[in-house]
Structure 1
């Protein structure tokens, strides 16, 4: 056999050998060794790589301890669990040398200040007043000349537009609009409308028409200035005096556009009954506001991850008054978990779920995980996830990891959840860090 075929055979064997190594579990674990780690100060983090290799790990012992050691360098077996405990917040690094000699990787370690929150689960009443007047529809006005038209539509106003000013006067209450329209109509002059569309301010002129039947001046618009509903409190951060709830944005029921909050409140709420979910028909919690004068907190922001604002004390009927740690997005794993929610009255209960899919999200995005209700009690009571359950905290291994956000319309036992990290960022208590195709509806 000449050398050329021998070289080809050798090359083929080498390729097969490399592929087998690459597909082996130890090698895959080895390749999964991170370039960056995020930790909370004071919280123990366990890493498991299952690589049968000894290594020397070098750290700053003033910031990070490996396996409880206060030494700068430590020999470790990467086939055994590695425990990391940061003692103060800041940035540091962890250098890993294989067999104590071969430089393998320098891991960047970001240590955040310790963060603990009280998980929610309470059903809350939500009252929101928008930052302006929301256009939710057009209607035709019959003029004295027998012509039907909508002045608002002719002025170019569309559904979802937010009217911020009329004749340069800030406006956010529907009841104040009628007087301005009447004055402009009697003076036979157009109204100057300042509105916001997709975050951009614009201006138009609108000429009111006198309704031949009602004998008053009309804009030809259906408008709204507020919204109300029920949802679930996700967490209360007592040290910062803030809360997060819902896990998804509040939208107007007609236009499906996010509501820009002018002001708002959350209140205690009492669940009176449950309309069970069925395939193709998401159920809902029926609830009443309790003591409307008792405001739990204000609403300052309405974001894709829920509503956020100030809260000065933990609400009544908590599952527990004790704080628990929170998890970064990359810590959430497929497997058993629990949710806290109310199915009767104001009692918060704990129910078993399974996290069936986790999406890697290095930056904020909705639908971070797919969850499935496995608790027979909850399935018997609700049929699965129902509207009003959005915001129910998801707890895994003693940490708050996320919140329920949506139910799958065709399988109400399953739905989406968002990572708690993104809610904590929107609440302002955590600094910024670096799905299935099934249709869903907000829970």
Structure 2
């Protein structure tokens, strides 16, 4: 059991890969930041986003990263960018690094269908770390989206969906509740899958360990998915409830595959997760139709093209890379985030208590340290303008903080990165503040 707990911690305490940087990527002494002679723009208020919105142009896919899951400014700036993309560019979908069932509950509130307040609806996020989505910054955006949608026709309302892969039991619960009314025959298959999983008491670790001993519920989940696919095909093309059911069935199938791989291969489980995110994005765009334009919120390690980090050495991919490869002609725009120092919400251990932690000054010669050295102010970088500067094209450490964090062990939190290739734009916040979890979370 100790072994599987260690594997679980290594794989799931990440919403990022804490890659150990090479010595070349992290020198002990800062180099001169004087090579940063162009591509840097001020970032003080929302009007400073004009250059970013213009640079995004007609892109259909815009991915907004974050260097941690617990920094207020990352959420706030992503919200401001999203609002402008919705109002000025016609974006009508947001997909986030969250579970499908809980986020669908929030989506229903945003659509004006249920719930008394965003704060109340965000209680649906029960999986640790709840602060990732049950926070004041997301609640504020949700209220804005609900008000925006109230003034739109049904076809123009913005949808808000989860694209992560963890919700095995939660997706089955939601799916069974729907099928009991809509398709009793398929509901029996949902009950069969739940019965198969019942001995593991909703414990992903126990199920993963059982697969290592030859037990599996994959067949029951696959039979259920096939039945739900057939059910959806029998429904009108725009049937949102049937689409929701099919996505829950897919999430359950891929969650089982993820937990199966979790105890076998870190790279395989990582890739399965990001390919599920890619598939979910594609399904959302297809479901929305010809006018679909989607904003994606996820950690930098999912958003920033993996080919320009050391992830490529272990064969790991991410959604930023996958969407660039698949949809280049439609326009895929990647926005990264980073900071020099400040505060963050995190925990000292997986499943532990929520804490406000200090983020120390960035390690010497990291991208964050060089950007602070250039000027200790917030700034926006457009990467195309940096790509003909040789010094800017060198690999340097780029900080990534996960849901578990130890401020005294900074060196292991830097991903070797060619920044102008990993992203199309980068928002640098010199000093950050902690995210604001909802009370009781």
Q: Same fold (TM over 0.5)?
A: no
Q: TM-score, normalised by structure 1?
A: 0.21
Greater share of residues in strand: 1
Q: TM-score, normalised by structure 2?
A: 0.21
Greater share of residues in helix: 2
**Which of 1 and 2 has greater Rg?**
1
Higher relative contact order (CA 8 A, sep 6+): 2
